[in-house]
Structure 1
Amino acid sequence: MAVGRGAEARRGACFRSRDGDDDLGMTGTATANVRRRRMENEEAPATARSSGGKRRRRGTDRFDTLPDELVLSILCKLAASAGRPSDFINVLLTCKRLKELGLSPQVLSTASAKTFAVKAKNWSNSADRFLKLCADSGNVEASYTLGMIHFYCLQNRRGGASLMAKAAIGSHARALYSLAVIQFNGSGRSKNDKDLRAGVTLCSRAAFRGHIDAMRELGHCLQDGYGVCQDVTRGRRLLVHANARELAAAVNAMISSRSWISSSWANDYRRHGARTGVTTEYPLLSDYGYNVPALEAHTVNRFMTEWFAARDGSPGPGLRLCSHGGCGRPETRRNEFRRCSVCGTVNYCSRACQALDWKLRHKEECVVVAAAGMGVEEGGAHGVENDDRAGDGDRQMMMVYS
């Protein structure tokens, strides 16, 4: 009897558990396992059980317990602030739930231009479908980007114009201006299909929304009486306003980078404001000898430049690209763009592109002016000739650069 009792003592079967439950007949290891499972059941939240009454397996990620509204809010902020497509796509590839929520219209409608800024060398059917999905979700930036790619790169004129029109209906300034350029040039159609009045109307709407190139284009149209009654004073005012907005945008970009502001500039600006009694959000840096860099080109303009650069820089036989490096628009028919009437070596899709390229590059490269020793000042006149060989092709249109 004593021996049997000793054996039970060695097995631990004669002791009760500390929890007060009768664990007789169990080994010490079995008792510990029961206690551990009981503690896990007590600590597990009620949400850890499925609707069928079965408890979820151990190790379930707490992410699954987050409400969809919170995850959607986070994904919307990510889509709006992503610096490159991979920042957003890599999140969608994390799990099935993130992919389903990330491709919802609520998220795609907030995606910024950088979120779908695909490079020309990476263009594929999947990229086309993703942009189309964003456009169908109500993203006007995606509609504009995909419309430009289809119209100029894929030569789907009707589909591209339809997508840009969809963005223009949503008051997208770039789409309005691009449609104005198409109307001015008769792009995708014959030269007899130009609609100057429609181009001026679209340009006015884009300029009203602060688009710098549209303001510059409309200013030249008013000065030249091109598609609108001539009004030199109003045109000049628009050109000055366009330059001021361009300067403000450049200064704003530099302020964001925090890499250029000096104490001497700040002191000069404060003294200037105290002397004149006029302070503005951005001063004219040229008054103090500072150089303002050119604005960064839009993602779709960079895409078109890369697209045609990979094809030997030619959009097709006898067709040319706009000579302004930040544009990338190609001709849709021969002799569609206007050429410089002084040197004849460059051509532009619009007056705005010619004005920008003249200030940034062509002013120093116009070989005829340089050979003749005739310095054309920035405020002087420079000619542009319509390169269509019939109709009004020989008419000279003078452009004033401010």
Structure 2
Amino acid sequence: MRTRRGVCYPRMEVCGVEKRVVKRAKRDFSATADESLAGKRQRLSPESEYGNHGGDMFDGLPDDLVLSILAKLSSSASSPSDFINVLITCKRFNGLALNPQVLAKASQKTFAIKAKNWSDSGHRFLKLCADAGNVEACYTLGMIRFYCLQNRGNGASLMAKAAISSHAPSLYSLAVIQFNGSGGSKSDKDLRAGVALCARAAFLGHIDALRELGHCLQDGYGVRQNIAEGRRFLVQGLRLCSHFGCGRPETRKHEFRRCSVCGTVNYCSRACQALDWKLRHKAECAPAERWVEEDGEGMDVDGGADGNGDGMGDS
């Protein structure tokens, strides 16, 4: 390299300095880097940070604690995807989530699969829940096998298993089967058994069973006729306004209108519906899962149905 006057700078290799300087610099840099990395490893070492459990503390959790957490999750899941995401997390989660202790607590929404999405894997999962003693799964699988798959005997036995655990919908469904003779020929009707099942379901608070029992008493269908008692049950079976600040009963059948989205709440007026929507129902309202899809309008962005934001459908 030359200066402006053309004088050359002396090159370092001429005096034998360049190679020694470069080697020394490389050696010092390597030593410094090794010391720095060793310090980081010591600070970030799993053994020093977590003891003998390594970097994954999950492996140190006992199985009974994990099962308790998964059971809580399955009982509060709002859709099948909430539970499926747990199954695909890791191998340990997949094994523990299918434990009977977890499946026995699974909520109805955990296996609420629409008919168009039904598959063999969904059927197997529902059967696992039923085998684990899940009452809702026994009822759901029993209804599917009885009415959809035409497996009358197995479906009825599953509903009977749920009915033994005082599951009101199962008791009412079995009562309807006895009234209609659906399990076999029309000659297999057992009206007295139907009335007994209806009475049990009505005692547990099933409104439809209470109305059916009222009609049986009023008409003398399967039981000794008692018009006054039948009318009393029919009046008790009238719907109440779902707004907790109201609770007014119907004065005639189908007077109140129910939410057209979920179909589980009834209101005596639009004012009660609007108040209950803001206070409570907005967080709970969800489309009801039905095996036979029905044409209907859904919920708009304001949370109402029928396109007007009030959620009031047909009675």
TM score, norm. by length of structure 2: 0.70
- Match of 2:225, SS state, is coil
- Structure 1 residues 94 and 28, CA, compared in 2 at 3 Å: closer, same or farther? same
TM-aligned CA deviation for residue 110 of structure 1:
1.3
Of 227-236 and 148-157, the range deviating more from structure 2: 227-236
- Structure 1 residues 184 and 7, CA, compared in 2 at 3 Å: closer, same or farther? closer
Matching residue of 2:226: 231
Matching residue of 1:48: 53
Q: 8 Å contact 1:247–1:292 — kept in the other structure? A: no
Corresponding residue pairs, total: 253
Unaligned runs of 5+ in 2: 1-16, 265-285, 297-313
CA distance in 1, matches of 2:250, 2:195: 32
**Does the alignment pair 1:77 with 2:72?**
yes
Unaligned runs of 5+ in 1: 14-25, 50-59, 256-265, 270-281, 311-324, 326-359, 362-402
Q: 8 Å contact 1:92–1:99 — kept in the other structure? A: yes
Deviation track 1:206-227 (CA, whole Å, cap 9, x = no partner) reads 1110011110000100001110
- Structure 1 residues 31 and 77, CA, compared in 2 at 3 Å: closer, same or farther? same
- Match of 2:291, SS state, is helix
CA distance in 1, matches of 2:289, 2:83: 20
Matching residue of 1:196: 191
Give runs of aligned pairs for residues 207-246 of structure 1, distance below 5 A: 207-243=202-238, 246=239
TM-aligned CA deviation for residue 40 of structure 1:
3.7
CA distance in 1, matches of 2:81, 2:23: 66
Q: 8 Å contact 2:53–2:59 — kept in the other structure? A: no
Q: Pick the aligned partner of 1:293 from 244, 254, 258.
A: 258
Q: Pick the aligned partner of 2:33 from 29, 32, 43.
A: 29
**Does the alignment pair 1:147 with 2:142?**
yes
Of 168-177 and 74-83, the range deviating more from structure 2: 74-83
**Which letter maps to 1:168?**
A
Q: Pick the aligned partner of 1:283 from 239, 242, 248.
A: 248
**Which letter maps to 2:240?**
L
- Match of 2:42, SS state, is helix
Matching residue of 2:6: none
TM-aligned CA deviation for residue 285 of structure 1:
7.6
Q: 8 Å contact 2:75–2:107 — kept in the other structure? A: yes
- Structure 1 residues 220 and 304, CA, compared in 2 at 3 Å: closer, same or farther? same
TM-aligned CA deviation for residue 156 of structure 1:
0.3
Q: 8 Å contact 1:285–1:292 — kept in the other structure? A: no
Runs of at least 4 residues off by over 6 Å? 6-9
- Match of 1:27, SS state, is helix
**Which letter maps to 1:76?**
A
TM-aligned CA deviation for residue 84 of structure 1:
1.7
CA distance in 2, matches of 1:166, 1:99: 28
CA distance in 2, matches of 1:82, 1:114: 7
CA distance in 2, matches of 1:32, 1:293: 70
CA distance in 2, matches of 1:83, 1:37: 44
Q: Pick the aligned partner of 1:125 from 106, 111, 120.
A: 120
**Does the alignment pair 1:303 with 2:275?**
no
- Structure 1 residues 33 and 84, CA, compared in 2 at 3 Å: closer, same or farther? closer
CA distance in 1, matches of 2:150, 2:115: 15
Matching residue of 1:161: 156
**Which letter maps to 1:34?**
A
Matching residue of 2:110: 115
**What is the root-mean-square deviation in Å for CA atoms of aligned residues?**
3.3
CA distance in 1, matches of 2:227, 2:78: 42
Deviation track 1:92-146 (CA, whole Å, cap 9, x = no partner) reads 2222222212111111111111111110111111111111100111111100000
CA distance in 2, matches of 1:167, 1:27: 73
Give runs of aligned pairs for residues 376-391 of structure 1, distance below 5 A: none
Matching residue of 2:240: 247
CA distance in 2, matches of 1:12, 1:113: 68
CA distance in 1, matches of 2:289, 2:61: 40
Greater relative contact order, per chain length (Cα 8 Å cut-off, separation 6+) = 1
Of 85-94 and 216-225, the range deviating more from structure 2: 85-94
Matching residue of 1:104: 99
Q: 8 Å contact 1:173–1:211 — kept in the other structure? A: yes
- Structure 1 residues 28 and 136, CA, compared in 2 at 3 Å: closer, same or farther? same
Q: In percent, how many aligned pairs have the same letter?
A: 58
- Match of 1:45, SS state, is helix
